[in-house]
Amino acid sequence: MVVLTGPPALPSKVIRLFVFVLVIILFLHTQRLSQSQTRTIEIDLEDLAAEGPPAEEQYLNRLKKEYGLTNYTAWSAWRIRTLEQASEWESITNLDADFRSNEFKLIEVKNPSRPQLVAQKQLDVPVHGSPLPEQVDASDFLFALSTSYDKVMENEFAMVKNWVRWMTGGNRNGNGATFILVLDQSPEHQVKELSEILKFQGIDAYVTTSTTPMSVAKRYVGMLQIIKDFSGTLAQKGQLKKWYGILDDKIFLPNLSYLQHRLFNYNSNDELYLGLPSERADWAIGDGFVTTYGGGAVFLTPSALSRIPGLPCFEDGKSDNKGWDSLLQDCLAQHTQMTMRVLPSFYSPSDNDDYAARTDSYETGIPPLVLHHYEERHQLNPSVAHLVTDVCGEACFLQRYRFRDNWVLVNGYTITEYPDGMNMADVPNSGDGHKSVIGPLQLDEDAVKRKMLFWTGHRNVWRLMDSVKGTNGDVWQAYVKRASAEDTPSFKRSEDEIMDSVVVLIWETAVSAKQ
Ligand SMILES: *[C@@H]1O[C@H](CO)[C@@H](O)[C@H](O)[C@H]1NC(C)=O
Ligand SMILES: *[C@@H]1O[C@H](CO)[C@@H](O)[C@H](O)[C@H]1NC(C)=O
């Protein structure tokens, strides 16, 4: 039997006083910790004040300090006004401008010329109307994952910042979602500390820990029991969840309203398993077959969840060298008649394999449902990349925008120049027809119209390096191509002095655009 600590039992009279004193000490301690630590979180959203040097100069200084820039740097800054459009969503949006109409300028980073630095160019960007993250009601969801304290604390709380993006509406307000975090053998003070930090950020969280060493898979199995117990407690308080998301610690959900829209097709009263693999790497592809274990994101209905702890497949010893998602799927397939469905995200087995293997999934123009291993596979930091949705809505994240002169912005990810030409074509299905999904799974694809991007020759890529929000709500993005990048160094001051180059996009909030 897996041992995990549940909700604390009432202490006996004898130790009650001791516990009381301990709680006070812990409280003061975590209060201090959570204050200093949440301040760290906010430094990222540092104000770009209205007084003093122009905001562009402050932003340049931030980039110089945080990331370092070559003494001379090429710089192109744009102000962006979003125009909400009612027309149908498209896989790529054409912009009525040439990127080259705002040529890169040479900036001496130590002593920049202000006219060179300040964005002179305004760009109108059509965005598909969609709710802002803060407008989403996620109270149907309970999300749960298990990881270690150290991983949560890594990179200045990167994980917490990511969770804040999709488990709150910003400004420390919850969005209704409930979160269960099971730590790996953490002492009580770490559990308390994280619990405080998450609550302070507006996440409705229950944090607990495993108490003995065990495999990740076993920790996840233990977590299912915890979720079941906890949802019983929630139900008593009248909070009924419809969907239990069991997630890897490297999952980011960029658009809960899109997820809701996809889940709306199912009856949450049924006993149902849904796997949400993100991209091709979340599938096992063999000779003529494909399959997936859900890619670290599995959604269960309440009745499916309550079945699981009683199943005979999670006994000691059997589960140790399997992933939790494959263990879960195999078990359900073997011991239940449960309906098991897969909602493909960036990759679907009917896709043309050549194209899918060769193209970065985040640049395919497919509406993102789940991001998985964003860091390892794409060097993407979700909380930074997703910040722009505070201005342009969740529909604009990873949306492709094409300039007239063959530059393409993938919002929150890259800006790419295709100097030798590019074109768009409809996505053909693989046509070979012999690739069938094995196992108990049924595929439910979203019928979106996609367009493939083809290019010839080489391409130059600027990657998102930084994004912050100003006091007025504008979101600043910096896309950078390093001097040291292997592909064509397009910016040189002299033969041996190659420069970094930076594209700054300032996404204006509707309010500040009017002023
Ligand atoms: C950049 O500036 C620093 C400090 O002024 C100087 O030491 C360094 O040589 C410069 N680098 C180049 C490539 O000119
Ligand atoms: C996100 O969800 C909203 C609401 O369902 C939708 O309008 C929008 O198009 C979605 N964005 C993407 C990129 O799918």
What are the pLDDT digits (tens) for 352-385? Answer: 777 777 789 999 999 999 999 999 999 999 999 9
What is d(CA 446, CA 258) in angstroms, rounded to the nearest whole number?
11
What is d(CA 438, CA 292) in angstroms, rounded to the nearest whole number?
9
Residue 467: per-residue pLDDT:
97
Structure-token match 């060097």, residue found: 379
Residue 511: per-residue pLDDT:
59
What is d(CA 329, CA 314) in angstroms, rounded to the nearest whole number?
12
pLDDT beyond 80 at 37: no
pLDDT beyond 70 at 47: no
Q: What is the largest CA-CA distance in the chain?
A: 79
pLDDT beyond 80 at 499: yes
Q: Give the pLDDT mean for 86-96.
A: 88
Bridge-partner residues for 424, per DSSP? Answer: 453
Check residues 383 and 23 and name the one with the higher pLDDT. Answer: 383
Q: How does residue 170 score in pLDDT terms, banded at 50, 70 and 90?
A: confident
Q: Which atom of ligand 2 is nearest to the CA of 130?
A: 7
What is d(CA 55, CA 267) in angstroms, rounded to the nearest whole number?
50
Cβ atoms within 10 A of the Cβ of 39, count? 9
- Residue owning the nearest CA to atom 11 of ligand 1: 71
Give distance in angstroms: CA of 446 to centre of ligand 2: 12
Give distance in angstroms: CA of 263 to centre of ligand 2: 13
- CB-ligand 1 contact for 71 (6 Å cutoff): yes
Average pLDDT, the chain: 85
pLDDT digits (tens, 9 = 90+) for 129-143: 766 667 789 999 999
Q: Is-contact 275 297, C-beta < 8 A? A: yes
Q: Which atom of ligand 1 is nearest to the CA of 71?
A: 1
Residue 320: per-residue pLDDT:
63
- CB-ligand 1 contact for 68 (6 Å cutoff): no
- Domain ranges across the chain: 55-130+388-514, 136-343
What does DSSP say about strands 436-437 and 289-292: parallel, antiparallel, or unpaired?
parallel
Listed residue (219, 221, 241, 220) closest to 230, CA to CA: 241
Structure-token match 């097709």, residue found: 265
Q: Which atom of ligand 2 is nearest to the CA of 255?
A: 1
Q: Is-contact 244 142, C-beta < 8 A? A: yes
- Residue owning the nearest CA to atom 6 of ligand 1: 71
Q: Does domain 136-343 have CATH number 3.60.20.10?
A: no
pLDDT beyond 70 at 444: yes
Task: Give the least confident one: 21-30, 196-205, 329-338.
Answer: 21-30
Task: Give the least confident one: 215-219, 439-443, 472-476.
Answer: 439-443
Q: Is-contact 438 284, C-beta < 8 A? A: no
The residues, ordered by sequence, that sit 6+ positions from 188 with a Cβ below 8 Å of its Cβ are 26
Give distance in angstroms: CA of 43 to centre of ligand 1: 29
Q: Which of 64, 70, 71 to mutate to test the pocket of ligand 1 (most atoms within 8 A of CB)?
A: 71
Give distance in angstroms: CA of 497 to centre of ligand 1: 11
- CB-ligand 2 contact for 509 (6 Å cutoff): no
What is d(CA 163, CA 157) in angstroms, rounded to the nearest whole number?
10
